[in-house]
Amino acid sequence: MKIGFIGSGVMGKSMALNLIKAGYQLNIYTRTKSKADELIKEGAAWMDSAGQVAAASDVIITIVGYPKDVEEVYLGENGIIKNAKAGSVVIDMTTSSPLLAQRIYEQARAKNIFALDAPVSGGDVGAREARLSIMVGGDAEAFERVQPVFAAMGKNIVLQGAAGAGQHTKMCNQIAIASNMIGVCEAMAYAQKAGLDPNTVLQSIASGAAGSWSLSNLAPRMIAGDFAPGFYVKHFIKDMTIALDTAQEMGLMTPGLELAKTLYEKLAAEGAEENGTQVLYKLFI
C-alpha cells in the first residue's frame, strides 16, 4: 500500500514519520518543500503537486491549515479528486467544516473513491508518540480498510458516523477545550497570585476532579513560560469559528465558546497567533 501524505506542519510531520516507521512507502507534497526535508531523508518520495501524490497512491492523507486549503487540495484543478485512482481512499485529517467533508465525500463517491473525514486530537505530543485520538466520518468499509494506517498514528480510533461526523465530533472536542483552557489559566493565575507554588498546586489538582488533558499537558508549559506551538492559536481560532458557525446553524447556545474565541482573538491581535494555545495564560498574569 502506497500512502500519499499532504501537509507537514507541527502534527503532520510526526504523523508522516510514524507511518514511515510502520513500514509504509510515502509519497509527499507540501507547499513549502523545505518543510518536508526530514521526511525525504527518511525515505519519503517527493511529488510536485497534490494531484501527483493522488495519482501515485492507494491512500491519500491530508492535514493542512484551513477549510479553504482543504477545498483547494481536494477539489482544485490539480487536486486529489480529479487525480486519485478509482478504489483509493482519501482521508482528510485537517480540522475543517462538516459541510465541506460531506461535499468531498459526494464528489469522491461519484468517481468511485472512498472519502473519510478524520480529524485528530492530542497535540504535538500525541502526534509524536502515535497516540492521537482519531474521530472518523464516512463508510464503514473504507474505515475498516485503513484501520492499520490509523493505528500507526493513533490509539483511540472511532468511527462516529456518516461523512461529516468526524468533523462534528472534533467540534465537540474543541468546544470542550475552549472553556477548559480558560479555567486552566485562571486556576494557575490564582495559584500564583495567592503565593502558592503552581507546580505543587498542579500536582494536587491534576489527578482529581479538575483533571484534564490541558491541565496535565499545557499547564506545566504555562508555568515554565513555554508558549511554543503544540497547536497554533491561529488554528484554534479557525476551529472555534467553524464550531460557532455550525452551532448557530443548529440553534445551539455556546457562551463559553464565544468567550474563548474573543480572548484568543485578542491574543492574535497582539501578535500571538503563531504561539501555542497555552499562551492564553498571558492574559491572566
- Percentage of the chain exceeding pLDDT 70: 100
This model's pTM is above 0.85 = yes
Separation between Cα atoms, residue 135 and residue 165, nearest integer Å: 8
Q: Find the distance separating the first CA and the last CA of the chain, reported in whole Å.
A: 51
Torsion of CA 170, 171, 172, 178, to 10 degrees: 110
Chain centroid offset of residue 93 CA: 6
Average pLDDT along the chain: 96
Digit-coded pLDDT (tens) for 166-177: 999 999 999 999
Domain 2-162 CATH (choose: 3.40.50.300, 1.10.357.10, 1.10.3720.10, 3.40.50.720):
3.40.50.720
Q: CA 64 to CA 66: how far, in whole Å?
A: 6
Do 2-162 and 168-283 agree at the fold level?
A: no
DSSP labels for 196-234?
Answer: --HHHHHHHHTTSTT--HHHHHTHHHHHHT----SSBHH
Domain ranges of the chain: 2-162, 168-283
45, three cell numbers: 518520495
pLDDT of residue 47: 96
Q: What 3-state DSSP class applies to 128?
A: helix
Check residue 37 and give its pLDDT. Answer: 93
Question: pLDDT of 87-134, one tens digit each?
Answer: 999 999 999 999 999 999 999 999 999 999 999 999 888 999 999 999
Rounded distance, CA 28 to CA 123, Å?
21
- Domain 168-283, CATH homologous superfamily name and number: N-(1-d-carboxylethyl)-l-norvaline Dehydrogenase; domain 2 (1.10.1040.10)
Residues identified as active-site: 170
Instruction: Please report how the helices 165-193 and 198-205 are oriented relative to each other, as an axis angle in degrees rounded to 10.
Output: 130
pLDDT for position 107: 97
